[in-house]
Amino acid sequence: KPLMILHGWFLFALTSADRVLEEGLLDLESLESSFLQISIENVTLTHVSEVSPWVSLGTVHMSIYLVAFLLVPICALAFAGPKWLLVAMITCADSTCTELPMAIFPVIAEGPVALGALVATKPFGQLLATPLVLRFTRHREVKAMELGLLLQSAGLLLQGFTPSLGAWFAARAAQGVGSGLVLTANMATGTDAFEEVKDSNYVEPMILVYSMYIGAVCGAPFGGVGFTIQPFLPFLFLGLAELLLLAAVHSKLDAPSIAMPGTQPLLSLLQYPMISRPVALICLLVMYTAALQAMLFRVLEEDLELTVGAASFTWLFQAWPAILGVLCLGPAAQRIGFRLIMLTGILLAGTSALLADESLTVLILELVAVGLALGAENATVPRLLEDVGIRHFEAPVSNNIITLLNLGQQLGYVMGPLTGALLCHVSSFQTMCRFFGVLLLGYALAHTAD
C-alpha cells in the first residue's frame, strides 16, 4: 500500500509538470509574429536538418512516465525481496552498465581512436583501481558496495544529460572504479546472502552468474532501443535504478560474518606455466572480442547505415552463443578434456577472424563464431585454474587465481579496443580482424607444439 500511494503521488506530480510544459508551449505560440521576425533576422541560418537534438521536448514527458513505471517493480523487489535477490540485481545492474552504451559510443566519439579509447576507459579504471579496492573493501564490504553503486549512478546520469566526449570519459572512468568496488564486495556479501537460503531447492549461487548473463544480453539492446526513443532514457533509468539498489543495500544488508581474506602477491603465480598460459589465452581472446565489439558498431552504423537500435541487436549473435557455450560445455569440460575445448575455441575464433568482411551476413557469422569460442574458454579456463590450485598448491590460492584471471580479462578489455582502434585508423576493419586471427592461430599452434 505505501508503494501504491507513493506511485500515485509520483504520477500526479508528473502530470502536473506535463501541464505546465504544455502551457509554456502555448504561451510561446501566442507571441507576436513581429517579435519572432526580429529574432530570425539576427540569426545566421545553417543546415541542421541532419542533426537530431539530444533531448526531444515532444516526448520527454512520456519518457519520464516510462521510467517511473519501470522503476516501481525494481523498487518493490529490492526492498521486499530476499537478500540474495538484491545481490543478484546488483550484479545484473553492473553488467548492464558495462554493455548499455556500446552501440551509442559511435554517436559520441568521432573516429576509431577516440572510440577505442572511450570503450577502454571503464576497464582501465577498474584495472588501476583493483589493488586499492581490494585493500579498501576488506572489513568495509557494505560501504564499498554503496560507494560503487553511487559512482556508477553518477556516471550514468552524467552520460545521459551531457553529450560531451570529455564528460563520457570521466563517467566511464568513475563507473570502472565503481564496478571494481561492487564486484569485490559482492564476493563477501553474496556468500552471507546465499548462506541464509542454503537449504532451499530453488536458489543456488549460480544465480549470480545467470544475473550477470542477463545484463550482458540485455544491456546493448536496451541501450540502443532506449536511445532511439529518447537519448537520455536508458541512462536515466539505470542510474535511478542503481540509486534504489543503493538505498536497499543501506537498509537491508549487514556486514558479512566472515571478512574477505587478505590478498597475497599475485604476480608470483605467473611463474607457473600451468597458470600463466590459460590466463594469457583468455586475455588474448578477450582482446579480440573487445576490439570487435568496439569497432563493430561503428561499421554497422557508419558503413552499413544501420540505426543505433538495429545495430544494438546484432550483439545478441555473440552474447547468446557465449552463454550457451558456458552452460553446455562447463559441466562436461572435465570429461571432454580442458585442452581439447580450449584449442578448439581458439582455432574457431582465429579462423573466423581471418575470414572477416564488412558484409552484414559475414559479420553475424563472425559474431557467432567468436561467441562460441568465448563460451568454450569461459567454460574451461576457470575450472582448469581451480583444479590447478587444488592439485599443485598446499595453501589455498583459489581467490588469488580468480583475481589474477579477472585482471587478465580487464587487461584484454583495455588493450583490445586500443589495438583495434589503431589498426582501423591506420588500415581497415578487415586488417584488424586478420591481425587478431594471426595472433590467435599462432598461439594455438605454439600451444599445440608444447
Q: How far is residue 329's CA from residue 310's CA, in Å, rounded to a whole number?
A: 31
Give the position of cell 560474518: 257
Q: How confident is the model at residue 202 (pLDDT cuts 50, 70, 90)?
A: very low
The 10 Å Cβ neighbour count of residue 56 is: 13
What percent of the chain is predicted at pLDDT more than 70? 76
Give the position of cell 606455466: 273
The per-residue b/e assignment along 345-374, b for 16 or more CB within 10 angstroms, e otherwise, is bbbbbbebbeebeeeeeebebbbbbbbbbb
SS3 for 114?
Answer: helix
Q: How far is residue 169's CA from residue 175's CA, in Å, rounded to a whole number?
A: 10
Q: What local confidence, expressed as pLDDT, does residue 115 receive? A: 93
Q: How far is residue 445's CA from residue 429's CA, in Å, rounded to a whole number?
A: 25
Which three three-digit cell numbers place residue 43? 540569426
Q: How far is residue 414's CA from residue 273's CA, in Å, rounded to a whole number?
A: 23
Least reliable range by pLDDT among 50-64, 126-140, 240-254: 50-64
Q: How far is residue 213's CA from residue 190's CA, in Å, rounded to a whole number?
A: 17
Q: How far is residue 399's CA from residue 387's CA, in Å, rounded to a whole number?
A: 13
Q: How far is residue 98's CA from residue 304's CA, in Å, rounded to a whole number?
A: 25
**Report for 51-55, 181-185, 295-299: range of highest mean pLDDT:** 295-299
**Report for 22-26, 58-62, 196-200, 320-324: range of highest mean pLDDT:** 320-324
Residues in contact with 16: Cβ distance below 8 Å, sequence separation at least 6, in sequence order: none
Which three three-digit cell numbers place residue 104? 551509442
Q: What local confidence, expressed as pLDDT, does residue 133 receive? A: 78
Residues in contact with 316: Cβ distance below 8 Å, sequence separation at least 6, in sequence order: 217, 220, 221
